């Protein structure tokens, strides 16, 4: 028997989706989702700080840097792709990828800063090397490391790489050196030597022997200058042998830095005592009587009348040759005043310097007479005739003593000062 027919079946209608737009909408939404993800990834990529300046680097260094940058960019891009899939910004997974991307950015920032420092230091090293600024105390390994690290010794090249965190690394003769920990070769300690020379010049110019108190003060001062062991090394290595300081009899002992410091202090102190004695003897030789047999520099008061000036041919030092005799040093307190004034004038003479206008001037050590403090000045300028025309080969030397009275600065010539303190 033939089964009863069920009639026509519309299979197309049977399989039709209940929502005609469901499939199309699905792809639209997926596209939007991918676009959103892509946008977020691009946003993260744009935040990647990979703008590294490669100028001034060798081909080998550029290759190492590009390799590092490519690897780190891939790490960043992978993390950006993964984090874009995570909606919960508070989840551990989200923070994990944030940390990765932040780490890459930090490494790029570190690399950029170290490259900038490296390029600048390379130029500085070359200049300082040519100027012979580095100390004799710097070891051969230190000098070689610097020369190779900065690419200035092709016979001993340094292998360049970028390490973890974006730090530059160099390998020289099998020794790895991270640039962040690199220390430049030791330099000559010009600052300390300049301070020592200034102290030496001052002591000589004063023309006075050192008292025990002054010697103790200088000893403490020198100890302070020698606090840094590298200062000791610089002075003992002969960095300043051309300055006339011979310390070759002292050896630096790394096991007894304090003992070495004391040896050096004593040697420098002995030198200052000797300089003081030489300055004293020089000053005394200028005080020998001339003509009138009186005491003081030339045995008497300076010539030039009320102006306190004198003239002589030749240099400024010759301008003090004409001295009006005082007829000897007065006894008692007045004699002490004479010595005080003359000693102060000597320090002014010994401190001559140019004034920028073709003349010279000097400032001496202040002194007190009858409770008034005076500061001696000496001024040297070309001598002139009655018409104001310069006299070739002659200079005029004028002494002025400044003091304060009534809240105002006053000035006296040499003879005026003598009158004021009754030494005439």
pLDDT of residue 362: 80
pTM: 0.52
Q: What is the mean pLDDT of residues 60-87?
A: 88
pLDDT of residue 173: 87
Of residues 5 and 422, more confidently modeled: 422
Cβ atoms of 205 and 250 closer than 8 Å: no
**At residue 194, does pLDDT exceed 90?**
no
pLDDT of residue 326: 40
C-alpha 280/C-alpha 299 separation (Å) is: 18
For 106-145, the three-class secondary structure string (H helix, E strand, C coil) is HHHHHHHHHHHHHHHHHHHHHHHHHCCCECCCCCHHHHHH
Q: Is 34 exposed, middle or buried (0-12, 13-18, 19+ CB in 10 A)?
A: exposed
pLDDT of residue 169: 93
Q: Which of 86-90, 150-154, 168-172, 381-385 has the highest mean pLDDT?
A: 168-172
pLDDT of residue 224: 94
293-302, 333-342, 357-366: least confident range: 293-302
Q: What is the mean pLDDT of the chain?
A: 76
Of residues 6 and 408, more confidently modeled: 408
123-137, 167-181, 310-324, 375-389: least confident range: 310-324
49 pLDDT band, cuts 50/70/90, is low
What are residue 351's phi and psi, to 5 degrees? -115, 30
Cβ atoms of 311 and 393 closer than 8 Å: no
Q: What is the pLDDT of residues 237-253, one digit of tens each?
A: 888 877 667 788 899 99
Q: What is the pLDDT of residues 267-320, one digit of tens each?
A: 999 999 999 999 999 888 877 554 443 333 333 333 333 333 333 333 333 333
pLDDT of residue 357: 65
Which structure tokens are listed for 283?
A: 């000053």
Can you say whether the dihedral through the CA atoms of 384, 390, 391, 397 is positive or negative?
positive
pLDDT of residue 288: 58
Greatest pairwise CA separation for the chain in angstroms: 171
**At residue 233, does pLDDT exceed 80?**
yes
Q: What is the mean pLDDT of residues 330-353?
A: 72
pLDDT of residue 7: 45
pLDDT of residue 51: 57
Nearest-CA neighbor of 41 among 95, 108, 106, 97? 97
pLDDT of residue 334: 56
C-alpha 214/C-alpha 351 separation (Å) is: 21
Of residues 110 and 423, more confidently modeled: 110
Q: What is the mean pLDDT of residues 122-133?
A: 80
As a whole-number percent, the residues of the chain with pLDDT over 70 amount to 72
pLDDT of residue 127: 78
| 3-state secondary structure at position 104 | helix
Q: What is the mean pLDDT of residues 387-392?
A: 78
pLDDT of residue 268: 93
Helices (H), 207-309: 212-225, 229-236, 257-286
Give strand pairing partners of 313: 394
pLDDT of residue 54: 63
Q: What is the mean pLDDT of residues 43-51?
A: 50
383 pLDDT band, cuts 50/70/90, is confident
Q: How far is CA 401 from the centre of its chain?
A: 38
Q: What is the pLDDT of residues 8-35, one digit of tens each?
A: 444 344 434 445 445 455 445 655 654 5
Of residues 16 and 208, more confidently modeled: 208
Q: How many residues can be counted in the chain?
A: 424
Delimit the domains of the chain by residue range.
47-186, 190-286, 305-420
Q: What is the mean pLDDT of residues 222-231?
A: 94
pLDDT of residue 264: 94
pLDDT of residue 368: 83
pLDDT of residue 1: 44
pLDDT of residue 89: 84
pLDDT of residue 143: 86
pLDDT of residue 253: 93
41-45, 108-112, 334-338: least confident range: 41-45
């Amino acid at each position: 028997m033939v089964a009863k027919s069920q009639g026509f079946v519309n299979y197309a209608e049977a399989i039709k989706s209940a929502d005609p737009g469901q499939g199309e909408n699905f792809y639209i939404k997926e596209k939007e989702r991918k676009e959103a993800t892509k946008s977020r990834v691009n946003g993260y990529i744009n935040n990647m700080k990979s703008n590294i300046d490669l100028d001034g680097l060798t081909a080998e260094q550029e290759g190492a840097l590009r390799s590092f940058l490519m690897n780190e960019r891939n790490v960043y891009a992978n993390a950006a792709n993964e984090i874009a899939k995570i909606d919960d910004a508070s989840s551990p997974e989200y923070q994990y990828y944030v940390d990765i991307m932040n780490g890459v950015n930090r490494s790029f920032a570190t690399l950029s800063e170290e490259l900038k420092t490296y390029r600048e230091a390379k130029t500085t090293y070359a200049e300082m090397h040519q100027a012979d600024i580095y100390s004799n105390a710097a070891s051969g390994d230190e000098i070689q490391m610097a020369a190779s690290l900065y690419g200035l010794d092709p016979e001993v090249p340094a292998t360049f790489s970028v390490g973890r965190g974006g730090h530059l690394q160099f390998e020289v003769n099998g020794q790895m050196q991270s640039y962040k920990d690199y220390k430049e070769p030791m330099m000559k300690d010009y600052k300390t030597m300049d301070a020592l020379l200034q102290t030496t010049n001052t002591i000589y110019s004063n023309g006075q022997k050192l008292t025990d108190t002054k010697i103790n003060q200088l000893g403490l001062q020198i100890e302070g200058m020698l606090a840094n062991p590298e200062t000791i090394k610089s002075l003992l290595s002969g960095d300043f042998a051309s300055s006339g300081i011979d310390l070759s009899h002292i050896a630096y002992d790394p096991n007894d830095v304090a003992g070495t410091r004391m040896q050096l202090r004593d040697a420098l102190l002995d030198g200052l005592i000797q300089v003081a004695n030489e300055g004293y003897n020089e000053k005394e030789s200028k005080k020998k009587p001339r003509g009138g047999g009186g005491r003081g520099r030339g045995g008497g008061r300076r010539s030039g009348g009320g102006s306190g000036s004198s003239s002589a041919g030749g240099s400024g030092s010759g301008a003090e040759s004409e001295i009006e005799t005082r007829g000897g040093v007065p006894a008692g307190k007045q004699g002490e005043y004479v010595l005080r004034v003359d000693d102060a004038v000597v320090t002014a003479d010994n401190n001559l310097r140019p004034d920028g206008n073709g003349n010279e001037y000097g400032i001496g050590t202040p002194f007190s007479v009858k409770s008034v403090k005076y500061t001696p000045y000496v001024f040297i300028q070309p001598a002139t005739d009655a018409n104001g025309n310069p006299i070739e080969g002659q200079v005029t030397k004028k002494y002025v003593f400044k003091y304060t009275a009534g809240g105002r600065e006053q000035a006296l010539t040499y003879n005026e000062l003598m009158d004021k303190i009754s030494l005439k």
